[in-house]
Amino acid sequence: MGPTKIAEGIYNVGVIDWNIRDFHGYSTWSGTTYNAYLIMDEKITLIDTVKREFVDELLNNISQIVDPKKIDYVISNHTEMDHSGGLPRVMHKIGEGKPVYCSKMGNKNLADHFRQGLNYQPVENGGELKIGKRTLTFLETRMLHWPDSMFTYVNGDKILFSSDAFGQHYAGYENFDDEIDDHDIMHHARKYFANILLLYSPLIVKLVEKVTEMGLQIEMICPDHGIIWRKDPSKIINAYVEWSKQVPKRKAIVIYDTMWRSTETMAKAIADTLALEGVDAKPMHLRRCHKSDIITEVLDTAAIIIGSPTLNNHIFPSIGSFLTYMEGLKPAKKIAAAFGSYGWSGEAVKTINSHFETMGFDIVDPGLRVKYVPDKTGIEACQEFAKKIAHAIPA
């Protein structure tokens, strides 16, 4: 769509990926963007590139501001391929001997990805680079999102280029947070946090403390995905701190799959009863709700209740896949319980409980199994099960 001026002499030259719907397993139903930023100073500087298949569009955007061959410096804030996949072609275009500034881990990781000798210049945490009237400061932000990740702060303009952090998988013609519905964009930011950064929550709290100690004044946050925060950058920073703390609400999600609707009948009876007990409850069928949308709900949920039929002496495959995904993201401060219909062996509840134990969840009921089809007695058992969970959720 062409470059966007974000401040005097600073442009977003990135691209919009309108139709991506699956970002390595994350459902990007709104598409995404790969933002890259051009700073026109005595040393013309490009911050990050884009996915390899979008390089022509990136170069075309840059060309509308300046001949790409005139770029002096490239900053790589993050090695993952959605931001550095285009780097070799960009360097080929602008001159392979030009410096690529990156973190020390970025130096290693870029070399491991491209196996070619670009002029990587590792920078220190807190290191500075003068590019003319502006000075850039680099901040290591290990594991946000990879070990190589760093932020680049532009003194004077008070702009933080934050790579993945504070991003959203959202594609649109809007560029800034004041051009878009607040509730919508915060939902995208929250989903991004829950699915990309949740397991690094303790590091996020420390990072925000570090940035506060450094006294960095931030007037604009420019992530590598989605819109730019300029209306009130502290809003997204505060949201990250709140999400990192994972303070549970009086909320429960009943995550299930079903073969002949028996486990579904149980799920609905459990959710209905939780709601009657004053819990914000939601049944979510695993083959109808995407796992990345379910994890977004997990973020502030007190109770995770999982139901699976027993299939071939095991849990249903979709349940296994979801549990694997959730275990990797390490949600904290959850109570949990398992349920499910079975025919003759009924191992599913026990297997789910073993996953809950691995995740350190507080199991508040040994689990509820109903043989074949829940009758009146089975439904009453679901209601008692739900009441027990509701009473275990802090008010």
For the annotated catalytic residues, the residue numbers are 24, 78, 80, 82, 145, 164, 192, 225
Stretch that binds ligand FEO, among 74-82, 293-301, 319-327, 374-382 (CB under 6 A): 74-82
Which residues 100-119 are close enough to bind ligand FEO by CB under 6 A?
A: none
Reference 84, options 220, 223, 224, 228; nearest CA is 224
Of 80 and 177, nearer to ligand FEO (C-beta) is: 80
Reference 290, options 322, 252, 328, 320; nearest CA is 322
The answer to whether 78 contacts ligand FEO (rule: CB under 6 A) is yes
- d(CA 279, CA 32) in angstroms, rounded, equals 34
Of 80 and 365, nearer to ligand FEO (C-beta) is: 80
Reference 77, options 34, 55, 52, 48; nearest CA is 48
Which residues 160-179 are close enough to bind ligand FEO by CB under 6 A?
A: 164
Give the residue, chosen from 51, 134, 145, 230, that forms a contact with ligand FEO under the rule CB under 6 A. 145
CB-based contact 79:144 (threshold 8 Å): no
First-to-last alpha carbon distance for the chain, in angstroms, is 49
Stretch that binds ligand FEO, among 63-71, 78-86, 98-106, 246-254 (CB under 6 A): 78-86
Report, in Å, the least distance between residue 59 CB and ligand FEO. 20
Report, in Å, the least distance between residue 225 CB and ligand FEO. 6
Find the residue with minimal CB distance to ligand FEO.
80
- d(CA 37, CA 65) in angstroms, rounded, equals 12
Of 190 and 369, nearer to ligand FEO (C-beta) is: 190
Report, in Å, the least distance between residue 85 CB and ligand FEO. 10
Residues touching ligand FEO: how many (CB under 6 A)?
9
The answer to whether 80 contacts ligand FEO (rule: CB under 6 A) is yes
The answer to whether 51 contacts ligand FEO (rule: CB under 6 A) is no
Of 82 and 140, nearer to ligand FEO (C-beta) is: 82
- d(CA 208, CA 135) in angstroms, rounded, equals 22
Give the residue, chosen from 82, 177, 257, 297, that forms a contact with ligand FEO under the rule CB under 6 A. 82
Cβ-proximal residues to 215 (8 Å cutoff; 6+ apart), any chain: none
Stretch that binds ligand FEO, among 57-65, 75-83, 92-100, 273-281 (CB under 6 A): 75-83
Which residues 218-247 are close enough to bind ligand FEO by CB under 6 A?
A: 224-225
- d(CA 44, CA 257) in angstroms, rounded, equals 54
Report, in Å, the least distance between residue 113 CB and ligand FEO. 13
Query: CB neighbours (10 Å) of residue 139?
Result: 22
- d(CA 176, CA 12) in angstroms, rounded, equals 11
CA angle 193, 301, 246 (to 5 degrees): 50
Stretch that binds ligand FEO, among 76-84, 203-211, 294-302, 349-357 (CB under 6 A): 76-84
The answer to whether 191 contacts ligand FEO (rule: CB under 6 A) is no
Which positions from 273 to 312 touch ligand FEO by CB under 6 A, shown as an x/- string?
----------------------------------------
Q: Which amino acid is at 300?
A: D
Cβ-proximal residues to 208 (8 Å cutoff; 6+ apart), any chain: 237, 240, 241
Report, in Å, the least distance between residue 275 CB and ligand FEO. 37
The answer to whether 48 contacts ligand FEO (rule: CB under 6 A) is no
- d(CA 9, CA 387) in angstroms, rounded, equals 60
Q: What is the 3-state secondary structure (H, E, C) of 118-175?
A: CEEEECCCCCEEECCCCEEEEEECCCCCCCCCEEEEECCCCEEEEECCCCCCCCCCCC
- d(CA 393, CA 136) in angstroms, rounded, equals 48
Stretch that binds ligand FEO, among 52-60, 77-85, 184-192, 328-336 (CB under 6 A): 77-85
**Token pair of 47 as six digits:** 């911050």
Cα–chain center distance at 313: 34
Report, in Å, the least distance between residue 203 CB and ligand FEO. 14
Site residues for ligand FEO per CB under 6 A: 78, 80, 82-83, 145-146, 164, 224-225
